[in-house]
Amino acid sequence: MEERRLYGDAGLIEQKLANMQLMETAAGGYAAVYKDPATGAFWLKYYATAAREGGGYLTLLRLPAPTTEEVVQLAIGSPFVDEAVAAVLRLLDEEAIEKKDFRLQLVEKLGQQQPDSREQRQRLLQIIKLAGLDDPTNRREVLHKSNAQIEQDAVYFKAVAAKANVLLEKLQH
């Protein structure tokens, strides 16, 4: 069985960290790197800023950080609900902080899914809502951009939202 890449459950994170060695802290203690002596793997404990209310969502991420494509796969396919939620929040953080785009890739992957149970449909619905894929609001910076660039960004978010809304309609029936 492949080891998890993300943890989003505070209790599981504390259990996992109990067996690890603290290597360094940053951001006033809001981020820390740990080493798992059993595997040699490094882990980053941080607070996802996408869930700002209450100080963020405690997350544990195995380093090196997964690619956007890998995080999309975790959001959709992880058997662990906390890992799926942490993956969506990771995508939102990468979008906000690192300006990485994930929306079209995620909505297209969601559209390729063939959910055969109520639970699987529910997971896909939750991903769409948590990621805000159905919201056509432009989330990209507008300063120092031409009107044409801003309009191009707006068209992109509207197109993703339209695809997400078609998916929502299919999943709710």
Tell me if 43 is assigned to some domain: no
Tell me if 53 is assigned to some domain: no
Instruction: Provide the number of structural domains found in the chain.
Output: 1
Tell me if 13 is assigned to some domain: no
Tell me if 141 is assigned to some domain: yes
Q: What per-residue confidence (pLDDT) applies to 3? A: 83
Place of tokens 């209790």: 11
pTM (2 decimals)? 0.92
Residue type, 12: L
* Range of the structural domain that residue 137 is part of: 101-173
- List, in sequence order, the alpha helices (H) in 40-146: 68-77, 81-98, 103-112, 118-131
- The per-residue DSSP string of 75-98 comes to HHH-S-HHHHHHHHHHHHHHHHHH
Q: Tell me the C-alpha distance between 96 and 49, whole Å.
A: 9
Per-residue pLDDT of the chain (173 residues; tens, 9 = 90+): 468 999 999 999 999 999 999 999 997 888 999 999 999 999 999 998 865 555 688 999 999 999 999 999 999 999 999 999 999 999 999 999 899 999 999 999 999 999 999 999 999 999 999 999 999 999 888 999 999 999 999 999 999 999 999 999 999 87
In which order are the strands placed within the sheet that holds 21-26?
Answer: 6-7, 57-62, 42-48, 31-35, 21-26
